[in-house]
Amino acid sequence: MTAYTVGGPVPGLAAWPVETFPEWSATLPARSAVTEDALRQQAAALLQHVYRWLDAAIPVAPQLVAVVPMLVTAVHLYQAREYPACLNQVQVAIGALQQARATVPGLPPL
């Protein structure tokens, strides 16, 4: 038997797009301005961090330039105020950079 906490996430449901349940989308609350600002700040900080890391790491491993298009996409998403998508895109780029760190000695900590 699985126990669920009240208000906790339902396993697997987060992976389903809201469009799957059109009758629910009308009842979902819009993101608050506070949430939007928090996502914006988080996305901006993460983009800046990865940019600075790449600035230091590319001289050591020039092949890391292959990650730049992923970050350009993330910046475009940020500019379009699509902060959750931006954060997801940056996480994908960070995953690629983490793999590179495991194979290239001398890269700074991410």
Confidence of residue 32 (pLDDT cuts 50, 70, 90): confident
Residue 91: pLDDT over 90: yes
Confidence of residue 62 (pLDDT cuts 50, 70, 90): very high
Confidence of residue 40 (pLDDT cuts 50, 70, 90): very high
d(CA 63, CA 104): 10
When the pLDDT of each residue in the chain is averaged and rounded to a whole number, the result is 80
The answer to whether the CB of 86 falls within 8 A of the CB of 77 is: yes
Confidence of residue 29 (pLDDT cuts 50, 70, 90): low
Q: Closest by alpha carbon to 71, among 44, 90, 99?
A: 90
Selected residue with higher pLDDT from 47 and 2: 47
Confidence of residue 65 (pLDDT cuts 50, 70, 90): very high
Q: Closest by alpha carbon to 97, among 79, 110, 88?
A: 110
Q: Which ranges constitute the DSSP H helices of the chain?
A: 22-25, 33-57, 68-79, 83-103
pLDDT at 14 (0 to 100)? 41
Q: In terms of pTM, does the model score above 0.85? A: no
The answer to whether the CB of 92 falls within 8 A of the CB of 70 is: yes
Number of Cα atoms under 13 Å in the Cβ half of residue 38? 5
